[in-house]
Structures are given as C-alpha cells and as structure tokens.
Amino acid sequence: MTAVRVKICGITRLEDALAAAAAGADAIGLVFYAKSPRAVDIEQARAILAALPPFVTSVGLFVDAERSELERILASVPLDLLQFHGDESVQQCEAFGRPYIKALRVKAGDDIAAQVARYPSAQGILLDAYVEGVPGGTGEAFDWSLIPQALSKPLILAGGLRPDNVAEAVSRVRPYAVDVSGGVEASKGVKDVEKVGAFIRAARGN
C-alpha cells in the first residue's frame, strides 16, 4: 500500500512550515479566511513559501472568497493548490484555472458520493466534520463509517485527527491523505513540533 500523504494545515509561522517539511509533511496549508484564528496575510504567506523546500505542496484555503480577493492573493502568492472550504460551486472552483480540492462537511444522512460527483474537476475531496456555522478547523471528528467505500476522487481525511488516533483513521478509512491543524498545535496557529513529528510517524505507521 502506498504511504498516506500528510498535510499540516493552519501554518502561520515560517518556523512551523520548515519544521513540518523537515518532519516529512507532503503539504502545508495556509488559511486565507479572516475569521479563522489561523489566518495569514499575503506578506506572511509569501515569506513562508519563499523559504519552503522543494517538493512540499503549498495549499491555500479559501471560504466563499470574493473572486477579486482570491485573484489578488493569487497574483502575489505562488500557491500550488487551492482548497475551497465553503459553498463554492464547481464553476467557482474552476474559475481560476488552478488545480483544486473541494472540502465537504460530513453529517449523517448526506449522500457523500453524490456531493463528490458535483466536482469532477477536483484533484481530490477533503472530508471534514460538519459543525453548524463553522466551515472547518473545529477539531471535531465525524463518523468514518459514513464514508462510501469507493469514491471517484482521492480522499483527504480531516476532522479531529491527532497523533493518537491517526493510525486508526488510516487503517479504517484508507485515505489518500490526512489533514491536520488543531491536533498538532500548542495554541491556535502555533504548531507543536513534537506533535507534528508524532502525527506524521503515526500516519505512516513508523
């Protein structure tokens, strides 16, 4: 089985990005959503990406952003991948001509396969917990048994993952990748280097 990929999201500091890369992260996530305690501005993002080593994917997270705002960010920040975490349509996701992943918030009764099928151009689908009024980053897990056995897109599992439960998540769900933010933090927006390393080792069964 191919080793699961790991994304460390909610990076706000250069030292945390470098520590994540050194620990073996495949991707880092930068949050461009002003209401998030992990939000970054253009200057922060540029500084982080300028120092990021090669072969670490940079992902920009957006929540129902205005097109003009997103274009302004893309003009200044060389993101590799866009992550849409709001109610964006497939047309909105495709509008920027960039590879993207679409986040879906899971709750009982959802037809996840049908939701995934609405985004045929997505590089992958991220599944997170549904929490009323919050687009993501809640640290809440969801019932993994709700995930269909065979999705049409690579699955990125998020929501309540931590160093002590990610191995079980990988074993049960067999995702393409796992995504963590709060589960490896010392405080909101500040990563705990030891937790980051422990998470990546556990995800890969090391």
**What angle, 0 to 180 degrees and rounded to 10, lies between the N-to-C axes of helices 42-51 and 14-23?**
40
Judge whether 93 counts as a catalytic residue.
Answer: no
Which one is catalytic: 9, 16, 26, 93?
A: 9
Phi, psi of 104 (to 5 degrees): -125, 140
Q: Are 92 and 84 in contact (CB under 8 A)?
A: yes
- Buried b or exposed e, range 161-178, using 16+ CB within 10 angstroms: bbbeebbebbeebebbbb
Active site annotation includes 9: yes
Q: Which of 16, 26, 128, 179 is catalytic?
A: 128
| Residues 101-106: contacts with CB under 8 Å, at least 24 apart | 101/59, 101/125, 101/126, 101/156, 102/126, 103/127, 103/128, 103/135, 103/136, 103/158, 104/128, 105/129, 105/130, 105/131, 105/135, 105/136, 106/130, 106/142, 106/143, 106/146, 106/147, 106/159
Which residues carry out catalysis? Answer: 9, 128
